[in-house]
A and B are shown apart, each in its own frame.
Chain A
Amino acid sequence: MTADLQLRIYCTGVGGQGTLLATRLLGEAAMAAGYPVQVAETHGMAQRGGVVESTVVLGSLASPIISLGEADILLGFEILETFRSLNRCHAGALVVTNTGVNVPYTVATGQTTYPPVERMLALLKAHTGRLIALDGNALAQQAGSALAVNMVLLGALISSGRVPFTVATFEQIIATRTPKAHLETNLKAFQLGHEAAAALP
């Protein structure tokens, strides 16, 4: 491990997308690699179909949460929510996002419209250091379960090289910390996410 590493990872998604499991696995991986780590979660009312935000803070930091403009990595499970959290990032941040859409109820009822995905991706790219965008929903389906989006995104994140974990250690964490019944799907989704991100220009 690197002694002076400080890494602030901000995760966002919609209730039910498995963001909390993803942050917990990142925390477990960090601990296994010997880093001090803090994880902050959202529970309770906010989880009912609303936005679920969580954080993973690695290294010599005591605070579990991340202020505006200070995230090194933004891990987004739904493209509108990723874009909404762009204000968490500093200019050099890495963004790893699902391009999949989860229509909020305010759009479904016609109160407002969903912003164009391409435009949000372009703005994310323009205002951060690096963007890894992939269709996590499709890759999760391909792996065998729509619920495995979190594993796809973790695979893509590890592939970026910005977090200090190897594929092998992370697969070990998935193997020991997720239910056996979903293990094959989870590992497949992780690998698909990893490959898809590595294949991006």
Chain B
Amino acid sequence: MHPLLAGPPGEKRLLLGNEAIVRGALEAGVALATQYPGTPSSEIGDRCYQISRESDLYFEYATNEKVALEVAAGAAASGLRVLCAMKHVGVNVAADTLMTLAYSGVKGGLVLVSADDPSLFSSQNEQDNRYYAKLSGLPMLEPSSAQEAKDLTHYAFALSEELQLPVILRTTTRINHSRGVVVLGELKPRQRQGRFEKNPFRYVMVPAVARQAHGILLAQQAKAAAVAETCQWNRVSGTGPWGIVTSGVSAAYVADAIADLGIRDKVSLLTLGFTHPLPSRLIREFLGRVEKVLVVEELEPYLEEGVRAIAADLPQPPVIRGKGEGLFSRLFEYHPGLVRQVLAGYFGVPYTPPTPVDPAALLGRSLPERPPNLCPGCSHRATYYAVKIALRDLGVEGIFPTDIGCYTLGLLPPLSMADYLLCMGSSVSTAAGIATATGQKVIAFIGDSTFFHSGLPGLIDAVHNGHDFLLIILDNGTTAMTGHQPHPGVTPAPPGYTGRTIDIHQVVQALGVEQVKLVNPLQYRLTLAAIKEAVAARGVRVIISRSPCILYLQRLGQKKRAKTFVVGPECRDCRHCLDYFGCPALQPPLEGEGPLVIDEALCNACGFCLQLCQKKAIRAKSAGNG
């Protein structure tokens, strides 16, 4: 049985925040879950997928976040309890849906997990999605630990049904990807059969209906504010004159800082788990009994602005600070030492911060960087290599709009094949803009999952409006970066996966692209010829470069690291593979001159280096030879 489906109430588990969210949803009787994978939210969908294989929970990997939220909305309108998870920028994709879903509301509880990524561990921005709660008018909860991630998820379903509104569960990477001890609660049976009761004056958002609905939303918001006033997740501790207001993972840093500095009896602490609408009466009372206030929250001054607005009504408001010089930054995530230091400075507590050594200074030189890299055997690297050689041979400079996925790592030398990137799907349409503006040779890269997610409208636009660029679809059969989740074109499908596969080649042809070629990038000569032809041509050209992700195949047990390769003495005075290809397994000897070495622990035996070696020095090791 799946571990999240097992365990009696009261049992303690070490759960990832994302697992705790899933457990909380199961304890609330969630019936349907949807997701488009994205760090740091991905494990929510992955666990739901596993659980859906052995229970009557319905789960789907949706084509994109907008689709995920709309499937969720339809099911919630039909009375089911629904979980929908996405990364912060995914909410941008779903925002059109979200803003009006707030008007129509829900019948079954709908919990939207927005997983924000302060410090941009794996994202293109660090936007603060708490403003989505304000923008949409929806209630928002913020857990500060794995235990709260479970408990608040459970509570969010009840709250959603009480208010008939979707509830935003806003997390950050440190909540999603931290493990903590979680005490399990009781699993609730699922209500899996819904029924859609017709009610067009609630659910069909034409202007006449929406005018009414906006008023209803405001009325529900007032109810939500009343709930927030007495909600157990908004709590005050301590009675000291120094006020601290905090939420999310910052609450953990504040708790440790108060203990470390020994200022517990000096502090009044307001920890908020229900952060939209803010509990204004609770905050007003809190402000009334402290001398000064520090607001501790990562990213934007969301709480600080809210608290200041509430303080404006007070006759003698205390000083309220949060962001600013010598205080907290709007950039990046915080950490315990930083919060301790700012608290000490603001409240005038003697404190000497640690003085860490600087390893580079001790060594007297900088340390080698170790940036993430495309894996050995990655088919994307083979495609990039072929494009690089094609452009060199043709004497053409390429401009490379790229997209979101493992292949974004093509940015790094020696490939250096990324010039413009905004968001999911942007490669295709920005290519159209650059080509139209400049007439330069534009070659855009997009992955297969991203193509389905939001590349299609751009390609349709390009065909319809007659743009001039080459789009290379890097089709490795899976959503590799986030952990090999299936997508509509998944190939090969994981065992037991029932989703019907949609072939990208057929889709592109059906869209009216006349110049389309399917290649296997591991067949170098054929790929090079196809790319040269496509680069030289005009109009919309598409090359689908298809070869499954080598890690994915290994995970499915379809690829063994059987073959090994050796480099012969012909390898000398040539850095071609290092300068154009850059496989991590191909390394110069650590000391002295001599042929390259293939690191057998890293090599995934794709065999591509045999094809590109200019000296024909790389050979498969013969069987009895080693």
The interface of chain A, by Cβ under 8 A from chain B, is 14-15, 24, 27-28, 31, 36-51, 60-70, 80-81, 83-90, 103-115, 119-120, 123, 127, 146
Closest to A68 in B: B356
Residues of B within 8 A of A85 (CB): 359
Question: Told that A50-B373, A89-B357 touch, could you supply 5 new A-B pairs with CB distance under 8 A?
Answer: A36-B181, A64-B179, A64-B249, A67-B337, A68-B356
Q: Quick one: given A62-B256, A67-B337, A120-B363, are A114 and B368 in contact (CB under 8 Å)?
A: yes
- Complex Cα distance, B365 from A127, in Å, reads 17
- Complex Cα distance, B12 from A43, in Å, reads 24
Q: Does the CB pair A68–B481 fall under 8 Å?
A: no
Interface string of B13-57 (1 = CB under 8 A from A): 010100000000000000000000001101100000000000000
Residues of A within 8 A of B369 (CB): 104, 106, 112
Q: Which of B247-266 contact A (CB under 8 A)?
A: 249, 251-253, 255-256, 259
- Complex Cα distance, B577 from A109, in Å, reads 10
- Minimum CB–CB distance for B36 against chain A, Å: 15
The answer to whether the Cβ of B367 comes within 8 Å of any Cβ in the partner chain is: yes
Q: Does the CB pair A48–B374 fall under 8 Å?
A: yes
Interface string of B566-601 (1 = CB under 8 A from A): 000000000000100010101110100000000101
- Complex Cα distance, B12 from A28, in Å, reads 11
Residues of A within 8 A of B14 (CB): 24, 27-28, 31, 37, 39
Interface string of B363-387 (1 = CB under 8 A from A): 1011111111111000000000000
Closest to A47 in B: B372
Mostly, the B contact residues are: loop
The answer to whether the Cβ of B122 comes within 8 Å of any Cβ in the partner chain is: yes
The answer to whether the Cβ of B358 comes within 8 Å of any Cβ in the partner chain is: yes
Residues of B within 8 A of A60 (CB): 259
The answer to whether the Cβ of B125 comes within 8 Å of any Cβ in the partner chain is: no
Interface string of B170-197 (1 = CB under 8 A from A): 0000100111110000000000000000
Residues of A within 8 A of B439 (CB): none
- Complex Cα distance, B40 from A193, in Å, reads 34
- Complex Cα distance, B352 from A90, in Å, reads 13
Closest 4 CB pairs of A and B: A67-B337, A44-B122, A69-B354, A44-B39
Q: Does the CB pair B179–A104 fall under 8 Å?
A: no
- Minimum CB–CB distance for A110 against chain B, Å: 7
- Complex Cα distance, B338 from A65, in Å, reads 12
- Minimum CB–CB distance for B614 against chain A, Å: 17
- Complex Cα distance, B578 from A40, in Å, reads 35
Q: Quick one: given A38-B179, A123-B362, are A104 and B370 in contact (CB under 8 Å)?
A: yes
The answer to whether the Cβ of B414 comes within 8 Å of any Cβ in the partner chain is: yes
Q: Quick one: given A31-B12, A62-B252, are A69 and B356 in contact (CB under 8 Å)?
A: yes
Partner of B370, one of A14, A65, A87, A119: A14
Residues of A within 8 A of B353 (CB): 69
- Minimum CB–CB distance for A60 against chain B, Å: 7
Q: Does the CB pair A43–B601 fall under 8 Å?
A: no
Chain B contact-residue range equals 35 or more
- Minimum CB–CB distance for B405 against chain A, Å: 10
- Complex Cα distance, B336 from A37, in Å, reads 16
Number of A-B contacts (CB under 8 A): 187
- Complex Cα distance, B368 from A103, in Å, reads 9
Residues of B within 8 A of A15 (CB): 372
Residues of B within 8 A of A127 (CB): 357, 362
Closest to B359 in A: A86
The answer to whether the Cβ of B482 comes within 8 Å of any Cβ in the partner chain is: yes
Partner of A113, one of B252, B355, B368, B408: B368
- Minimum CB–CB distance for A121 against chain B, Å: 12
| 25 residue pairs bridging A and B, Cβ less than 8 Å apart | A27-B14, A37-B180, A40-B178, A42-B177, A44-B40, A45-B39, A45-B122, A46-B372, A49-B372, A61-B256, A61-B336, A62-B251, A63-B253, A63-B336, A67-B335, A67-B336, A80-B370, A83-B367, A103-B587, A103-B590, A105-B584, A108-B587, A109-B578, A123-B363, A127-B357
Residues of A within 8 A of B372 (CB): 15, 45-50
Residues of B within 8 A of A48 (CB): 372-375, 406, 409, 481
The interface of chain B, by Cβ under 8 A from chain A, is 12, 14, 16, 39-40, 42-43, 121-122, 145, 174, 177-181, 249, 251-253, 255-256, 259, 335-338, 353-359, 362-363, 365-375, 406, 408-409, 413-414, 481-482, 578, 582, 584, 586-588, 590, 599, 601
Residues of B within 8 A of A38 (CB): 178-180, 252
Q: Does the CB pair B365–A109 fall under 8 Å?
A: no
Closest to A87 in B: B356
Q: Does the CB pair A68–B42 fall under 8 Å?
A: no
Closest to A67 in B: B337
Residues of B within 8 A of A103 (CB): 587, 590, 599
Residues of B within 8 A of A67 (CB): 335-338, 354
- Minimum CB–CB distance for B573 against chain A, Å: 14
Residues of B within 8 A of A66 (CB): 335-336
Q: Does the CB pair A110–B588 fall under 8 Å?
A: yes
Q: Does the CB pair A62–B122 fall under 8 Å?
A: no
Closest to B339 in A: A63
Closest to A41 in B: B177
Q: Quick one: given A31-B12, A47-B372, are A41 and B179 in contact (CB under 8 Å)?
A: yes
Q: Does the CB pair A104–B368 fall under 8 Å?
A: yes
- Minimum CB–CB distance for B298 against chain A, Å: 12
Closest to B120 in A: A45
Q: Quick one: given A62-B145, A62-B252, are A107 and B180 in contact (CB under 8 Å)?
A: no
Q: Does the CB pair A42–B584 fall under 8 Å?
A: no
Residues of B within 8 A of A109 (CB): 413-414, 578, 582, 588
Most B-side CB within 10 Å, residue of A63, A80, A107, A119: A63
Q: Does the CB pair B362–A50 fall under 8 Å?
A: no
Partner of A112, one of B249, B366, B375, B406: B366
